[in-house]
Each structure stands twice: as structure tokens, then as C-alpha cells.
Structure 1
Amino acid sequence: MKKRLLAAMLCLSIPAGSAIAADGTALFQSNCSMCHQPNGQGVPGQFPALVGRVGKIASTPEGRQYVVAVALNGIMGAITIQGNSYAGFMPPFKMLADDQVAAILNHVAGLPDGPDATIFTVQDVAAARGKSIAPSAMVEKRQALDALHPLP
């Protein structure tokens, strides 16, 4: 009986976030799909598509930093993506653990065909977490990145 109780206590002491973080698909579905849709296609004029874009944006160090910064800080203001205008607000996801944010971003970077990409690390997210940026300032960051490396 004592052994079972000890085993149960050990299982309860393992952080739930670590078990969940390995599944970027589930994390995306529960945190992002209500706006960006379950397949990442978005809604033109309302919520930008992520499918086929995040991996391309993250192909440069500056792009990878930008994607992580958007996930952590959100974005607010007018942007144009693939000819569609968006003037909305994406909330920050700082409440998620670093491994969860990395898992979501790797899932999205692998869309549409998967498997999840291995672009974003926990260290990338942890480093960006220390550089808080206002959601409205992310629009300027996007414009600067687009001038440096045209965004898809």
C-alpha cells in the first residue's frame, strides 16, 4: 500500500505542462485554433493563416525571433498578409510555459503536412520572454522584418 501511495505521489509531482508540451497539436487546438482555425488556415480579413507561412518566416534568425515574440507578446494593429488586411488583436501567450510555446510554434511551422518542425527551442522562448514588447510595437517589428526579408 505504501509503495502505491508513494508512486501516486510521484506521478502527481510531475508538472502537467511537461507532459502536455510534447503535443504541439493539442496545445494549438486548445489555444490557437478558435481564431486561426483547426488547420491553421485562418479567416481572411479576420485572422491570418499560419499554414505554410510560419516555417518560412522562421527560416532566418530574425524571423524566428519575430515569431516567438508574437507568440509571447501578441500583436495589435493593422497588418497586410498575402494581400489581406488585418486590423485586430492577438493576445499574448506568456501564461504558457516555454516548452508549451515552443511546441505550438513547432507544430505550426510544420503545417500543412507535418510532422512538427524542430525550429523553435525552449531556450529561444526563454530568451524572448525577457524582452517584453507591447503588442502595438510588434507591428513595427513586423514591418522592419518584412523590409529585411519579405514575409510570405
Structure 2
Amino acid sequence: MKRRLCLAAASAAMLCTLPAAAADLAAQGKDLFAANCAACHNADASGIAGVAPPLANALRERLAAPAGQSYLANVLVHGLAGPIESQGQPFNGVMPPFATLPDASLLAVMAWLNTQNGQAAAADGAELLAKARAERKTPGAVRKLREAR
């Protein structure tokens, strides 16, 4: 009986820590975004007109779909180049790849960007990053993924 209580308590503790772990991951992502992306996208991911598009509240529909999560992984790994439109504003620039960052860092950034767009972190984020890393894509090819919705 005592063992069952311990198992139940351990299971409950794990369930209670899952949201905290996701929150911790997003908090790490916020810090990593500030260190690596804020120069172009602002620390709050609101973007800079004419320089880099907003990411907060601009990717809500895209990140709601599995293809959107894959797109985000590809943007982080391979970068993005060429003309795009975001929230009615045109942008034509180059975002460098961040493939030199470890997967844990990229997953954290993905988690934070998801929270900034009303989404939960992608459960298969690690798989999406692994797949993106396994493929060779130019930043221009990643832009075509954006168009393929």
C-alpha cells in the first residue's frame, strides 16, 4: 500500500512539474531570443518596421499547424531570405541561420515564440529540429516553405 502511495505521489509530482518545465523552457527561450534575435526583432518580438517582421502574434495561425512548426524549425536552422509579407508589411531581408546553437537552445526559442503566439510548445520540436538539420536548405528555399502553407 505504501508503495502505491509513493508511486501515485511521484506521478502527481511529475504531472505538476510538466507545466513548470514548459514555462522554464519558454523563459530560457525568452532570454536566448533577447541575446540572439532582439537586435532585429526587438526583445518582445514585435519586429522593426522595414528591418525584420514581428513574430509575436504574427505567427499564430502558422504555428497552429504542424507544417508551421516545421517551418519555424527550418527558419531557425537555415535562416530566411527574400521578400515576405507579415501583418500587411513587406520585408525583404536576410535572417542568418542559427544552426550553431544547440538543439536545447533552439527548442527553448521555439517554445517562447509559441507562447508569444498563443500556442503550446511543439511536442515534436526535437524531431522537427533533427529533420531540419538533416536537410540542406538555403535561406531562399526556406522562404518557399513559407509560401507553400
Query: Do the two structures share a fold, i.e. TM-score over 0.5?
Result: yes
Q: TM-score, normalised by structure 1?
A: 0.74
Which residue of 1 is the match for residue 54 of structure 2? 49
Any unmatched runs of 5+ in structure 2?
Answer: 1-23
Superposed displacement of residue 90, structure 1:
0.2
Which residue of 2 is the match for residue 89 of structure 1? 94
Once the two structures are superposed, residues 23-64 of structure 1 have per-residue CA deviations (whole angstroms, 9 ceiling, x without a partner) of 111111111111100110001221100001334312111111
The alignment covers a number of residue pairs equal to 123
Coordinate RMSD, CA, aligned: 1.9
Indicate yes or no: 2:141 matched with 1:137. yes
Percent identity, aligned pairs only, is 30
Displacement over 4 Å in runs of 4+: none
The equivalent position to 1:124 in structure 2, one of 101, 106, 128, is 128
Task: Quickly say closer, same or farther: Cα 1:54–1:82, change in 2 above 3 A.
Answer: closer
Greater share of residues in helix: 2
The equivalent position to 2:39 in structure 1, one of 8, 18, 34, is 34
Alpha-carbon distance between aligned partners in 1 of 2:39 and 2:120, rounded to the nearest angstrom: 22
One-letter amino acid of the counterpart of residue 106, structure 2 = V
Alpha-carbon distance between aligned partners in 1 of 2:70 and 2:57, rounded to the nearest angstrom: 18
Say whether the 8 Å CA contact 1:107–1:117 is kept in structure 2: no
